[in-house]
A = this chain, B = another copy of it.
Amino acid sequence: MNVRTLCLGVLSFGEATGYEIKKEIEEGPISHFIEASFGSIYPALTQLLGEGLLTVRAEEQTGRPDKKVYAITEAGRQALARALSVVPARDKYKSEFLFQMLFQQYLAPSVVLASIDKQLADLRADLAHIATCRLGELPQGSCFAADYGQAVLTAAVAFLEEKRAEVLARPHIAAAE
Contacts and interface: CB of A to CB of B under 8 A. Distances in A.
A84 B92 CA distance: 22
A105 B140 contact: yes
Interface residues of A, number: 58
Given A33-B98, A152-B152, A156-B151, A103 B84 contact: yes
Interface string A79-106: 0110011011111111111111111111
Copies per complex of this chain? 2
B163 A158 contact: no
Question: What is the predominant secondary structure among interface residues of chain A facing chain B?
Answer: helix
A159 interface: yes
Interface of A: 1, 5-6, 9, 12, 30, 32-35, 80-81, 84-85, 87-107, 111, 115, 118-119, 122, 139-142, 144-145, 147-149, 151-152, 154-156, 158-160, 163
24 contacts: A9-B99, A33-B99, A81-B106, A84-B100, A85-B111, A87-B115, A87-B118, A88-B96, A91-B94, A91-B95, A91-B96, A92-B92, A92-B95, A98-B144, A98-B148, A98-B149, A101-B145, A102-B141, A104-B140, A104-B144, A105-B139, A147-B159, A148-B160, A151-B158
Given A88-B115, A102-B144, 11 more contacts: A34-B94, A35-B92, A84-B107, A88-B95, A91-B93, A101-B141, A105-B140, A147-B159, A152-B156, A154-B155, A155-B155
